[in-house]
Chain A
Amino acid sequence: AQSVAQPEDQVNVAEGNPLTVKCTYSVSGNPYLFWYVQYPNRGLQFLLKYITGDNLVKGSYGFEAEFNKSQTSFHLKKPSALVSDSALYFCAVRAPFNKLIFGAGTRLAVHP
């Protein structure tokens, strides 16, 4: 069965520093992986996805994610964090019947 793990409940980063939000997955077959961001009292916004091809995927707001098949990981990264990046981030994997299996979420706090 497909599953997603986000090992960190919270990540704290200083503004201007690089950030990484970790995600590992377990799937049978080819993985289709997604990152979403949720700002307070808002819905989920799509950031980026990996379907096939280049292991480094670029997305919205300067975010990128690196797909690593051998480590079954899909970590979200940004070279220079902004205070406005503070939000809840979800990693998800596509399951049969178009379902998304979500991780528990990681809260990113960027401090000035």
Chain B
Amino acid sequence: NAGVTQTPKFQVLKTGQSMTLQCAQDMNHEYMSWYRQDPGMGLRLIHYSVGEGTTAKGEVPDGYNVSRSTTEDFPLRLLSAAPSQTSVYFCASSLLAGISGNTIYFGEGSWLTVV
């Protein structure tokens, strides 16, 4: 049972480069999301999806794109990397039925450095 799988785990980018962080879950969860973690700020929501074909902006969406073409996958794209996007990125998923009580499960994280 893999749960939520993120790749790559570590990545160094140059300013202006683009890249995609991959996220896949095998739990048939409708809800998927991306958070970024910065020191002293906890985790902040970037984008989320409540099902295949849907996406919505979170708290800090600028500079990022997402798509949800399948239930399992929710890639996060950095369009033109900036040093301010140096962070740890977490993908998360959960069921939607009984929404408020459902546990959200997190991947192992992707450490991104933009130089």
Contacts and interface: CB of A to CB of B under 8 A. Distances in A.
Interface residues of A, number: 24
A23 B4 CA distance: 27
Contact of A49 (B33, B58, B99, B103): B103
B48 A97 contact: yes
Interface string A33-57: 0101000011111100101000000
Contacts of A44: 43, 90, 92, 106
A49 B96 CA distance: 16
B41 A36 contact: no
A51 B100 contact: yes
A74 interface: no
A105 B42 contact: yes
Interface string B96-112: 10011111111111010
Given A32-B100, A49-B101, A51-B101, A99 B108 contact: no
Given A98-B31, A99-B48, A46 B103 contact: yes
Interface of B: 4, 6, 31, 33, 40-45, 48, 50, 56, 58, 90, 92, 94, 96, 99-109, 111
12 contacts: A34-B104, A43-B109, A44-B43, A45-B106, A49-B103, A51-B101, A94-B100, A97-B56, A98-B33, A98-B104, A100-B92, A102-B42
Interface of A: 4, 9, 30, 32, 34, 36, 41-46, 49, 51, 90, 94, 97-100, 102-105
| Interface pairs A-B: 3 shortest CB-CB | A102-B42, A43-B108, A44-B106
